[in-house]
Amino acid sequence: MSYQAISSTNIIQVVAPSNLDEGYKFNTKHDGTIYTVVVPPGGVKEGDVFYHEVIPLMADGIIARWRNGLCDCFNLGFCHPMLCNSLFFPLIAIAQVMTRMKLTWLGNRGPEKETSQTFKIILLIVIASIIFSGFQLLSANVSPFANSSPFATLNVLIWNDSFLYQIFMTTLSLYTIIIIARTRAYIRAKYKIPEKQCGGCEDYCCALFCQCCTVTQMACHTTDYQVISAAYCTPDGRKTTVIEV
């Protein structure tokens, strides 16, 4: 699919990528802005040219202020995918925001071949934490002398006093705080949003004490959920496919 602007307004010339029915909607991205295009009455055939007044879905951010307040996370609804991820799987939610911002799994800028793997890497970390927690839960109820149990050896050698498990979970908690703070700092710098509290420590304070609200605020700032549907498990947390042109 291709298009070109034919005036200074938001009228664009669209070349249909395939046979499309009347009213079919698809998204396209140009110069950092996402647009939605609606197929006109009668439909179009592949190669047909039609004109459309596009509706900008997500301009390149709101400058100098957050789109939503820190405590507006429930404005999306109690079952919104981003809110649920932020509540129950904050690492998944922040990974989706980091993917949008093209950050690596460490919260830094990087080449596309690295930033495109951010969601996958963090998803593996989450899966590993669930598996380790499961072993800890099972081994906690097994006597180390119950040799008939398949978890006995594991309990004696690794999970006996939960030492390694506690190290892992502490490291995971610190990692979560750091990448949330780094991502928030990057978004503030990108959109020129000043700190208002905590004198230079706002990003880390929010990441430490308000993880769910902070991640949801960043997600809402980088996507307008009024027009773009959210998704639970896509790399960028959006159901809508964005076509780069």
Q: Which two tokens stand for residue 239?
A: 């159901």
Q: Which strand (E) or helix (H) includes residue 224?
A: none
Report the half-sphere exposure of 110 (CA within 13 A, side-chain side): 14
Q: Exposed e or buried b for every residue in 211-238, given b needs 16+ CB within 10 A?
A: bebbbbbbbbbbbebeebebbeeebbbb
Rg of the Cα atoms in the chain: 23
Pick the closest to residue 40 from 29, 55, 27, 25 (CA basis). Answer: 25
Provide the 8-state DSSP code for 52.
Answer: E
Amino acid, single-letter form, for residue 179? I
What distance in Å separates the CA atoms of residue 109 and residue 98, rounded to the nearest whole number?
Answer: 10
List per-residue pLDDT tens for the chain, 245 residues long: 443 433 334 677 778 878 888 878 776 665 656 667 778 888 888 888 888 775 544 444 678 889 999 999 888 888 999 999 999 999 999 999 999 999 999 999 999 999 999 999 999 999 999 998 888 777 666 555 555 555 555 555 555 557 788 899 999 999 999 999 999 999 999 989 999 988 889 999 999 999 999 999 999 999 888 778 899 999 999 986 554 44
| Three-class SS state of 1 | coil
Q: Exposed e or buried b for every residue in 113-137, given b needs 16+ CB within 10 A?
A: ebbebbbeebbebeeeeeebeeebe
Strand ranges across the sheet with 55-58: 55-58, 33-38, 25-30, 242-244
Amino acid, single-letter form, for residue 37? V
What distance in Å separates the CA atoms of residue 184 and residue 215, rounded to the nearest whole number?
Answer: 8
pLDDT at 245: 41
The ranges assigned to domains in the chain are 2-58, 73-238
Distances (CA, A) of 204 to 106, 199, 226: 15, 11, 29
What distance in Å separates the CA atoms of residue 219 and residue 97, rounded to the nearest whole number?
Answer: 6
User: What pairing do the DSSP bridges indicate for beta strands 2-5 and 11-15?
Assistant: antiparallel
User: What pairing do the DSSP bridges indicate for beta strands 33-38 and 25-30?
Assistant: antiparallel
pTM passes above 0.85: no
